[in-house]
């Protein structure tokens, strides 16, 4: 019994630490921060309208509408236009600092607090994309994001060693688990839907003019029952296989490629803002970024 527990402990430590590559954490940090700058920039265009008391939703009403109770900065400070614009400016500045690698874990923690505060300030404009941005910010808090491509690494004396970086990389596993659960949940809910089972779900998607129709598609495809069913079942199969394929080392590279192709095709056809791109960032957390001085056993 003792040997079994010892074996499980070693396997647990190896899963969280020994197989995590800090360079992958850096890749995730850079791509996430680039998207976050776009995300916050769009907020800044209409920040007064969406988040201030001079806009469409009062702070007291937002607390009532919030699906779950959450602590928010705007519970303690006024939601005036000046305050909102100042806070958005700080969030943008910290997003740039995250991109440049300036004390990235501190920036990620602050960004997570800002995202929670703004998202719960107006829950009516939220969708799955906002949730993923918030979850990934939380995961970045626990990653060795300044191991490379970082201004903080240049300032640090001595620089962060590979051993220390790997020991801080378990947040990468947390992000990977989130990505797997997102695909598994999406597949499970589709499997329970009768329109996905009979292959007609994409027909109804094609009729949603506010979401579908970003890129031109042949009419023969949109009006073909065979093509509609084929696309519907293809999406269902891919999302059902991805949670398993991403967890298996031999199929991981192909799974990442197929997942990226799926999201790029959806980006071409649908108006979902940054959802496809933030999910691609999640898929990049499974990519093994190699460098000569990184040992071969530091792999995601």
Tokens of 297: 């056993």
CA separation for the pair 147, 141 (Å, rounded): 14
* 78 CB neighbour count, 10 Å cutoff: 11
User: Would you say 116 and 72 are in contact if contact means Cβ atoms under 8 Å apart?
Assistant: yes
pLDDT at position 292: 44
Instruction: Give the predicted TM-score (pTM) of the model.
Output: 0.89
How high is the pLDDT of residue 2? 72
In this structure, what token pair is assigned to residue 186?
């999406």
Torsion sign (Cα): 14, 18, 22, 27: negative
pLDDT tens-place values along the chain, 300 residues long: 677 777 677 766 666 666 678 889 999 999 999 999 999 999 999 999 999 999 999 888 888 877 666 678 988 899 999 999 999 999 999 999 999 999 999 999 999 999 999 998 998 898 999 999 999 999 999 998 988 889 987 776 566 666 565 656 788 999 999 999 999 999 999 999 999 999 999 999 988 888 888 888 888 888 899 999 999 999 999 999 999 999 998 999 999 999 999 999 999 999 999 999 999 999 999 998 865 444 333 343
CA-wise closest residue to 279 among 188, 193, 208, 180 = 180
User: What pLDDT sits at residue 296?
Assistant: 36
Bridge partners (DSSP) listed for residue 270: 212
Integer Cα distance of 288 and 83 in angstroms? 42
CA atoms of 215 and 227, how far apart (whole Å): 17
Residue labelled with tokens 């009419």: 219
Across 62-191, the runs of DSSP E, i.e. the strands, are none
- Give me the pLDDT at residue 54, please: 92
CA torsion 130-281-105-20 (nearest 10°) is 140
- 3-class secondary-structure state, position 121: helix
Tokens describing residue 50:
């969406």
SS3 (DSSP) at 125: helix
Q: Which residue has the tokens 């400016």?
A: 89
- Residue boundaries of the structural domains of the chain: 19-154, 169-289
């Amino acid at each position: 019994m003792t040997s079994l527990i010892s074996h499980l402990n070693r396997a647990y430590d190896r899963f969280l630490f020994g197989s995590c590559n800090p360079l992958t954490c850096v890749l995730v940090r850079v791509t996430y921060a680039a998207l976050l700058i776009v995300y916050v920039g769009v907020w800044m265009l209409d920040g007064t309208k969406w988040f201030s008391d001079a806009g469409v939703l009062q702070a007291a009403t937002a607390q009532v509408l919030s699906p779950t109770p959450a602590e928010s900065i705007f519970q303690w400070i006024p939601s005036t236009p000046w305050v909102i614009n100042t806070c958005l400016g700080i969030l943008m500045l910290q997003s740039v600092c995250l991109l440049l690698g300036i004390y990235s874990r501190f920036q990620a923690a602050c960004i997570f607090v800002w995202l929670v505060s703004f998202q719960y300030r107006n829950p009516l404009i939220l969708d799955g994309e906002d949730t993923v941005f918030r979850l990934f910010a939380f995961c970045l808090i626990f990653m060795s994001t300044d191991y490379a491509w970082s201004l903080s690494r240049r300032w640090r004396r001595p620089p962060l060693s590979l051993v220390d970086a790997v020991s801080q990389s378990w947040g990468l596993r947390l992000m990977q688990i989130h990505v797997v659960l997102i695909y598994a949940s999406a597949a499970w809910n589709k499997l329970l839907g009768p329109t996905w089972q009979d292959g007609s779900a994409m027909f109804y998607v094609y009729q949603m003019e506010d979401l579908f129709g970003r890129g031109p598609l042949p009419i023969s495809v949109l009006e073909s029952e065979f093509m509609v069913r084929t696309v519907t079942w293809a999406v269902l199969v891919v999302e059902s296989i991805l949670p398993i394929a991403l967890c298996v080392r031999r199929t991981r590279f192909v799974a990442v490629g197929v997942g990226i192709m799926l999201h790029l095709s959806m980006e071409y056809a649908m108006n979902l803002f940054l959802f496809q791109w933030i999910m691609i960032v999640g898929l990049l957390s499974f990519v093994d970024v190699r460098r000569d001085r990184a040992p071969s056993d530091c792999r995601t």
